[in-house]
Amino acid sequence: MARGSTTTHRESDAAESLIGRGARIRGRVHGDGALRVEGSVEGNIQLTGDLEIEDGASVTGDVEASSLVVSGQLTGDVTSRGPVTIRATAQYAGNVGGSEVILEEGAAFAGRIEAEFDLPAELSERTGGRAQSPRRESAGR
């Protein structure tokens, strides 16, 4: 970044790590900050930051991260403190839990989505006002 630039970077951007195309990692990956996977990881990933699995990349193992975007292949369970986005190019097999789960049309998904949500008013009246209770939904392809 040039001096005097008005461009700002988030702290998590500065701490981003990369597993590049052609790189293959076997074993547990953990750390602070964000990670972008363009290669292959066989093992669990635990991060304090965000995780991106790019189109053409693969991860086999459980994932824990702040947020997750899957464009490539992922086999394993996901626990996210923030949103999880499964892109149209993704192939995902496993259970997923996050504050928000976005499953784009065309994505290959096999697993269970766990999320808390409120029922709409018209449905909560039929269930005796249990709109605030957590719900578990299953989805599969």
Angstrom distances, CA of residue 22 to CA of 9, 69, 80, 95, 139: 28, 20, 27, 27, 32
Return the number of other C-beta atoms located less than 10 Å from residue 123's C-beta.
11
CB contact at 8 A, 112 and 128:
no
Nearest CA-CA partner of 45 in 90, 88, 85, 75: 75
pLDDT in tens, the chain (141 residues): 333 333 333 444 446 899 999 999 999 999 999 999 999 999 999 999 999 999 999 999 999 999 999 999 999 999 999 999 999 999 999 999 988 899 999 999 999 988 766 667 776 666 554 444 444 444 554
